[in-house]
C-alpha cells in the first residue's frame, strides 16, 4: 500500500514539475501585468538612450504596441548581440525585438516569429556632392569596408569595387571623411543612425540596398500561444502600415521590404 502511495505521489509531483517547466509565458505576462522586452540601447534609431537615459527608438515603439495590445505595462531591458538569445532562454526577458537577423541557426535556439517584421541590407555612405546613383558607379573606386564582412566578396567580384578594409567602423568613417575612400559600404540600418549625427550633414545613403536579410523577433522555444499572438501582431503591423509610419517617424529611408510586406498583408 505504501509503495502504491509513493508511486502516486511521485507521479503527481512529476506532473507538477512538467506543468511548472511548461508554464505559459503569455499567461504569466498577463498575470504580473508587465511585459519585459529586450531591445538594443546602442543602435540609433532602432534602440538607443535619450538624454534622460530612457531607451527609445523604432523597436521600443514596437514593444510598446505589444504591451498596449496585452493591456500590460512595458519594461525594456537593454541587450546586445552576444547576450540577447541567452537572456530569452534564461527568462530574463519575455520577448526579444533587437535587430536580429532571421537565420536557420538561430531558429534552432529560439522561436522566431513569422512573418519577419523588418530587414536590413548593404548600402553605402557617400558625399552628396559625388552624386552616386548606382552600384555600377563604384566600379574601380576605393570603397571602405569592415574586415570580415560577408558582403565584401560580392562587392568586389560583382560590382568591381576596390575594397579598402579596416578593423572597425571608427577607422572606416575616418578614412571616408579624409577622402581615402569615395564611399563606405556597411549595414544600411547602421548608416541611417550615423547620418542622423550633425557632423555627417554633407553625406547620404544614395543607393538601393542589396543583400537584404530579414529580421525576426523571438520568444522562448515552445511558447506556441505567444508565437501565435505575435504572428497576428506582426501581420497587423504590416497590414496597417505601422512599420512604414515608424520608418518616417525615426528618419529611416523607406525600405522596399516594408513596402512589399504592406502590399502583401494590406490587401
CB 78 within 8 A of CB 228: no
Can you give the pLDDT at residue 222? 94
Give, in order, the Cα–Cα distances in Å from 27 to each of 80, 87, 252: 27, 19, 35
Whether the per-residue pLDDT at 20 is higher than 60: the answer is no
| Euclidean distance between the first and the last CA atom of the chain, given in angstroms as a whole number | 66
Pairwise CA distance, residues 209 & 104, whole Å: 22
Whether the per-residue pLDDT at 15 is higher than 60: the answer is no
Average confidence (pLDDT) over 132-153: 94
Q: How confident is the model at residue 267 (pLDDT cuts 50, 70, 90)?
A: confident
Whether the per-residue pLDDT at 119 is higher than 90: the answer is yes
Whether the per-residue pLDDT at 142 is higher than 50: the answer is yes
Q: What is the pLDDT of residues 33-74, one digit of tens each?
A: 999 999 999 899 999 999 999 999 999 999 999 999 999 999
Give, in order, the Cα–Cα distances in Å from 98 to each of 17, 167, 214, 217, 260: 32, 24, 12, 7, 22
Residue given cell 522562448 in the structure block:
220
- Residue 140, helix vs strand vs coil: coil
Whether the per-residue pLDDT at 173 is higher than 60: the answer is yes
Can you give the pLDDT at residue 9? 46
Whether the per-residue pLDDT at 4 is higher than 80: the answer is no
C-alpha cell at 16: 507538477
Neighbours of 73 (CB within 10 A): 11
Can you give the pLDDT at residue 23? 61
What are the structural domains of the chain?
Answer: 2-117+216-265 (3.40.190.10), 120-212 (3.40.190.10)
DSSP string computed for 87-129: HHHTTS-SEE-SS-B--HHHHTTSEEPSSP-EEEEEEEEEEGG
Q: What is the pLDDT of residues 203-257, one digit of tens each?
A: 999 999 999 999 999 999 999 999 999 999 999 999 999 999 999 999 998 999 9
Pairwise CA distance, residues 76 & 45, whole Å: 16
Give, in order, the Cα–Cα distances in Å from 140 to each of 9, 204, 206, 207: 76, 21, 18, 17
Whether the per-residue pLDDT at 10 is higher than 90: the answer is no
CB 88 within 8 A of CB 39: no
Can you give the pLDDT at residue 179? 96
Can you give the pLDDT at residue 149? 87
Strands 95-96 and 34-39, sheet pairing: parallel
Whether the per-residue pLDDT at 11 is higher than 80: the answer is no
The H-or-E segment that residue 34 falls in is: strand 34-39
Residue given cell 496597417 in the structure block:
240
Percent of the residues in the chain that have a pLDDT greater than 70, as a whole number: 91
Average confidence (pLDDT) over 10-31: 62
Mean pLDDT of the chain: 91
Alpha helices (runs of H) in the chain, residue ranges in sequence order: 2-21, 25-32, 58-70, 84-89, 104-107, 152-157, 169-177, 188-195, 224-240, 242-249, 256-265
Amino acid at each position: 500500500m505504501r509503495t502504491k502511495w509513493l508511486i502516486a505521489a511521485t507521479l503527481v509531483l512529476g506532473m507538477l514539475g512538467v506543468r511548472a517547466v511548461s508554464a505559459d509565458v503569455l499567461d504569466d505576462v498577463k498575470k504580473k501585468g508587465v511585459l519585459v522586452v529586450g531591445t538594443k540601447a546602442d543602435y540609433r534609431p532602432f534602440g538607443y538612450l535619450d538624454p534622460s537615459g530612457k531607451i527609445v527608438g523604432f523597436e521600443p515603439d514596437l514593444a510598446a504596441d505589444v504591451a498596449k495590445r496585452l493591456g500590460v505595462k512595458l519594461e525594456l531591458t537593454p541587450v546586445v548581440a552576444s547576450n540577447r538569445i541567452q537572456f530569452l532562454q534564461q527568462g530574463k526577458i519575455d520577448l526579444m525585438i533587437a535587430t536580429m537577423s532571421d537565420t536557420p541557426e538561430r531558429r534552432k535556439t529560439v522561436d522566431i516569429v513569422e512573418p519577419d517584421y523588418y530587414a536590413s541590407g548593404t548600402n553605402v555612405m557617400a558625399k552628396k556632392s559625388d552624386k552616386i546613383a548606382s552600384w555600377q558607379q563604384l566600379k574601380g573606386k576605393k570603397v571602405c569596408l569592415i574586415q570580415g564582412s560577408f558582403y565584401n566578396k560580392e562587392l568586389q567580384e560583382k560590382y568591381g569595387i576596390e575594397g579598402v578594409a579596416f578593423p572597425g567602423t571608427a577607422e572606416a568613417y575616418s578614412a571616408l571623411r579624409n577622402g581615402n575612400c569615395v564611399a563606405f559600404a556597411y549595414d544600411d540600418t547602421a548608416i541611417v543612425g550615423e547620418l542622423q549625427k550633425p557632423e555627417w550633414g554633407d553625406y547620404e545613403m544614395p543607393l538601393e540596398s542589396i543583400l537584404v536579410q530579414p529580421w525576426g523577433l523571438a520568444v522562448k522555444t515552445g511558447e506556441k500561444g505567444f508565437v501565435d499572438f505575435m504572428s497576428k501582431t506582426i501581420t497587423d503591423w504590416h497590414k496597417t502600415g505601422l512599420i512604414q509610419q515608424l520608418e518616417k517617424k525615426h528618419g529611416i529611408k523607406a525600405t522596399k521590404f516594408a513596402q512589399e510586406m504592406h502590399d502583401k498583408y494590406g490587401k
